[in-house]
Amino acid sequence: MDDVIGSIDLWHSVAFKLVKIIEEFQFKSGKSEDIRNILRLGRPKESSDPRDKIYALLGHPAFQELGTGPGKDQFIHISYDIPYQDLYYLVAEQLLKLPNPLYVLGLVQHTAASFKQTDISWVPQWNINAYIGDLEPLPSRCHFNASAETAPVFMLKSKILQLQGIAIDTIKWNAEPFDDFFIGEDIWHWVNLIAPIFYDIRTHLDGFDSAIRSLEEPSILSKLFFALTTGITSYPQLPLKQRVVDMIVFLEHIGFDCSKWIQHNGIEGHGELTRFLSDIINSCIGRSFFITENGQFGLGPEIVLPSDLVCVFFGASVPYVLRPVGDGKYRICGERYMDDFMDGEAIEMLK
């Protein structure tokens, strides 16, 4: 890969109490907690000053441990004279020095507004309060291994992060992002809210109609389930077929004719709508479903657009979506899930 550039859009929110935030995270494994997790958990907290999204957390033992001992400097010096954009860059620069350095890219959660107003897209925008569940919640706990544990190859020069990796596909079409919702008493409100996404998928995903009319269990349904849930479920004890059944029940509820499939597979009355909605909540909120030029599909950041590039960076646990800006440079949109490239498959292509 060539250069990746970008930046952040920052705005003020309401005030919070710094001491309370520190105390709230105090129980998180103390000194041994990964500071990137502390920053991730602090993102949705409110602050009157965007710099406090960093400064408010520096009292946590994990930060204190990082900045003590022979030859160690403070993680970040507190100063309200520095613009918050510069502070966020300095933090990202420090995070690149930690083990699994490219995890910093997993902390990038662009909105449409932030992406338009940025120049350093690889720097996380901690002032954005919306919380999107990360595909790699922590390097040590990540479910995925997209780069097959290859060593990261990168260089930071003039705030441009130069990375190496493999371009694997280009996005052809994407649906509207999934809005935030929850499963409350009026479950049908939420069913109707997300149904249009599936109508769009039906239009653009070749073989979808024939799959749900099939008497077998075509792989396209399993792949669709994995794409919409990022392969992670709240019900790991259930076999994959049962979870696909839950999705089929959802499709039946929103007007798709799955009757032959249901009757043939003997599942009538055995699917559970709320289970599928729960899995959707865990993965889709703030993300957009997409289909690539090669017919793959998955979930990407809400700002994804046709012609964006899908790539796997050496040393990264998950793939990413990039937007070409010319001269071999790209802006990073965010992490993405694509079932066939989450466990080192891209690296195998090089052999």
Selected residue with higher pLDDT from 131 and 279: 279
pLDDT tens by residue, 146-159: 899 899 999 999 99
pLDDT in the model for residue 4: 46
**What mean pLDDT do residues 329-343 have?**
91
* DSSP labels, 38-72: HHHHHTTS--SSTTHHHHTTTTSHHHHHHT-STTP
Q: Give the C-alpha separation, 284 to 227, whole Å.
A: 9
Closest CA to 188 of 277, 269, 248, 287: 277
The answer on pLDDT for 67 being more than 80 is no
pLDDT recorded at residue 216? 60
The pair of structure tokens assigned to 133 is 């569940």
Average pLDDT over residues 322-327: 92
As a whole number, mean pLDDT of residues 236-265 equals 81
**Whether pLDDT at 135 is above 80:** no
Higher pLDDT, residue 329 or 285? 329
**Mean predicted confidence (pLDDT) in 198-215:** 80
Sign of CA dihedral 76, 82, 88, 93: negative
Work out the mean pLDDT of the chain and round it to a whole number.
80
User: Tell me, what's the pLDDT at 91?
Assistant: 94
Residues 6+ apart with CB under 8 A from 274: 183, 187
- Mean pLDDT calculated for residue range 8-36: 46
